[in-house]
Amino acid sequence: MNILVTGGAGFIGSNFIRHILVKYPDYKIINLDKLTYAGNLDNLRDIEHIYGLSEKRYGFVRGDICDAAVVNEVVGRKPDAIVHFAAESHVDRSITNSQEFLQTNILGTRVLLEAGRQYNIGKFVQIGTDEVYGSVEDGYSKEEDVLEPNSPYSVSKVAADLLARAYWITFGTPVVITRSSNNFGPYQYPEKLIPLFILNLIEGKKAPLYGDGMNVRDWLNVSDNCEAIDLVLHHGKIGEIYNIGGDNERTNLDVTRTILDYLNFDENFIEYIKDRPGHDRRYALDSSKIKQLGWEPKQRFEEAIKDTIEWYRNNEWWWKRIKDGEYRKYYEKQYPVG
Ligand code: NAD
Ligand code: DAU
C-alpha cells in the first residue's frame, strides 16, 4: 500500500509512520508537512535514514495542506490512502489566536478532501479528537452523541469531521473518522501537559497546574493509537466514526503526582495557576465500537508513563534542540519555503 500521511513530522504522525514502515515491509509513505513549530523532522531521523535513503519507502514533501497546488501534486501521485493528521493541535494556542486553527484544520482539510475526490482516493482517514463531544460530566461519549465543542480548536476539529462526513455523503469519498483521547509517549512537543511537566521537573522547574487540577482526561499511549488507526485504515467501515480511548481516566493532579513521584519531587514542585478559559472538566470515550473491530489498548498508564519519562530522560538531544530552536534553523535551511 502507498500512503500519504499529512502532519507526519508531528507527534502522532511520526509515531504512526514508524509503526507502519516497521510493520509492513512493502508499504511506502509520503509525508506532507508544513513544518510549523510543532513539525520536527528530528522525530523521523531514524526513518529518513533506514526507510528513506536506503529502502526508498519513505519520502518527505514540505508543504501546506491549504495549498491546492502542492496537495494536488502529492495526491496526483495516486497513493492508495490518505491518513490526515496535519492540524494545529494545542488548545491554549487556539484561545490566544484561532486564525491558523480555522485555516489549517478546516480549509486545509477541505483542500485534501477535494484532492481525494478528484483522484478517487481509496480511503481517507480523518484524525479527529474526543474534544468534539465537549465536557462530559458523567458517562462516556458515543460516536453518535451531540457535538458540543467548547474551544476554537475543538470547533475547528468538529468542522473538519463534518466536512469529511459531507464528502462521503455527497461525493462518496471513502472517509473514515477516528476520535481519540489524550495521547502521550515519545516525540510529543513540550507544550502539552505530560512532556511539559516531565521536562520542567528534569530542569528543576515547577509543574504549572491549571485551576484545581481536578480536570479529567483519558490517557492513551501513542502506540495504542497507532495500532487503532492502522486497524481503521485497513478494516474500518467507510462512513463510520471510531472512538479510541485508553481506559486510563486520571485527574491532572493524579498525572502530576505520578510524574513527581517517579522523578522524586514533592508537591512543592506543583504551581497552581489560573485556569484555562472554557476548560473542559472531563473527556471520556465509549470505545466499544472499535473494540468490536478487534482493538483494545495494551498499555496501562502506570507502566507507560514510566517508559515515557525514561524516553525524555534518555533523549535530551531531542528536546534540547527544541528548546534552543536548533531544529527549526536546521530544517528551515534544508527545506526552505517556496
Ligand atoms: P502536532 O501538533 O504534534 O503535529 C501537527 C503536525 O501537523 C506538525 O508536524 C505540523 O507541522 C503539521 N501541520 C500543521 N499545519 C499544517 C499545514 N497547514 N500543512 C501541513 N502540515 C501542517 O499534533 P499531534 O498531537 O501529533 O496531533 C495530530 C492529529 O491528531 C491532529 O489532527 C490532532 O487534532 C489529533 N489528535 C491529537 C491528540 C493528542 O493527544 N495529541 C488526541 C486526539 C487527536
Ligand atoms: O483530548 C484530545 C486532545 O488532547 C487533543 O485533541 C489535543 O490536540 C491535545 O492537545 C490534547 O488537548 P488537551 O487540552 O487535553 O491537552 P493538554 O496537554 O494541553 O492539557 C491536558 C490537561 O492538562 C488539560 O486539562 C489542561 C491541563 N494543563 C495543560 C497544560 C499545558 C495544565 O494543567 N497545565 C499545563 O501547563
What is the model's pLDDT at position 218? Answer: 98
Instruction: Work out the pLDDT band at 285, boundaries 50, 70, 90.
Output: very high
Classified as helix, coil or strand, 206 is coil
Mean per-residue pLDDT over the chain, rounded: 97
Q: Is 130 in the pocket of ligand 2 (CB under 6 A)?
A: yes
Pocket test for ligand 2, best of 36, 84, 95, 182 (most atoms within 8 A of CB): 182
pLDDT(158) > 80? yes
Given 58, 153, 167, 312, the catalytic residue: 153
Beta bridge partners of 207: 270
Q: Is 187 in the pocket of ligand 1 (CB under 6 A)?
A: no
Nearest Cα neighbor of 123 from 61, 75, 179 is: 75
List the grid coordinates of 320. Answer: 534540547
- Model pTM greater than 0.95? yes
Pocket test for ligand 2, best of 252, 279, 280 (most atoms within 8 A of CB): 252
Stretch 76-98: mean pLDDT: 98
Query: What span, in angstroms and rounded, lies between the C-alpha atoms of 285 and 216?
Result: 12
Given 42, 88, 131, 230, the catalytic residue: 131
What is the model's pLDDT at position 212? Answer: 98
pLDDT(271) > 80? yes
pLDDT(155) > 90? yes
Positive/negative CA dihedral, 256, 321, 108, 102: positive
Amino acid making up residue 51: Y
- The number of the ligand 1 atom at minimal distance from the alpha carbon of 12 is 26
**Percent with pLDDT over 70 in the chain:** 100
Q: What letter would DSSP give residue 285? A: B
- Residue 235: CB partners within 8 Å, gap ≥ 6? 293, 294
> pLDDT tens for residues 116-141?
999 999 999 999 999 999 999 999 99
Amino acid making up residue 276: R
Domains within the chain, CATH numbers bracketed:
2-187+219-247+279-301 (3.40.50.720)
- Quick one: angle between helices 301-314 and 193-202, nearest 10? 50
User: How many angstroms does the Cα of residue 84 sit away from the middle of ligand 1?
Assistant: 9
> pLDDT tens for residues 181-197?
999 999 999 999 999 99
pLDDT(291) > 80? yes
Indicate the Cα dihedral angle 251, 252, 258, 264, nearest 10°. -150
Q: How far apart are the first and last CA of the chain?
A: 30
What is the model's pLDDT at position 96? Answer: 98
> pLDDT tens for residues 42-86?
999 999 999 988 889 999 999 999 999 999 999 999 999 999 999
> pLDDT tens for residues 302-334?
999 999 999 999 999 999 999 999 999 999 999
Specify whether 119 is catalytic.
no
pLDDT(338) > 80? no
Specify whether 24 is catalytic.
no
> pLDDT tens for residues 212-241?
999 999 999 999 999 999 999 999 999 999
214 alpha carbon, closest ligand: 2
Pocket test for ligand 1, best of 5, 64, 85, 232 (most atoms within 8 A of CB): 85
**Phi/psi zone of residue 172: left (φ > 0), alpha (ψ -120 to 50 degrees), beta?**
left
User: How many angstroms does the Cα of residue 99 sit away from the middle of ligand 1?
Assistant: 16
Specify whether 130 is catalytic.
yes
User: How many angstroms does the Cα of residue 313 sit away from the middle of ligand 1?
Assistant: 24
> pLDDT tens for residues 4-24?
999 999 999 999 999 999 999
Q: SS3 sequence, 126-189?
A: EEEEHHHHCCCCCCCECCCCCCCCCCHHHHHHHHHHHHHHHHHHHHCCCEEEEEECEEECCCCC
Given 130, 224, 230, 247, the catalytic residue: 130
Q: Is 38 in the pocket of ligand 1 (CB under 6 A)?
A: yes
